[in-house]
Amino acid sequence: MKYQSGQTVTVLDTEYKPAGNAVICNYQEGSNKYEVDFTYPGNQTTDKISVPEERLILLSERGH
């Protein structure tokens, strides 16, 4: 498990370009995915979505 609950991360889209920020909710054992609270661009509310670990980066990792 790379990320901890409550951490803010950047979600990458399917082309591995930044799609927006999210907050880690929990790790889904066996699937290598995290449930995150993600706000889609243009929306005011957050949605819980499952994202594979390889499509999440810490904000401090951007641009490296």
Determine the pLDDT at residue 53. Answer: 96
The predicted-structure confidence for 35-61, as pLDDT tens digits, reads as follows 999 998 889 999 999 999 999 999 766
pTM for the model stands at 0.85
19, 44 from 57: Cα distances, Å? 11, 22
- Domain edges within the chain: 8-61
Task: Give domain 8-61's CATH architecture.
Answer: Roll (2.30)
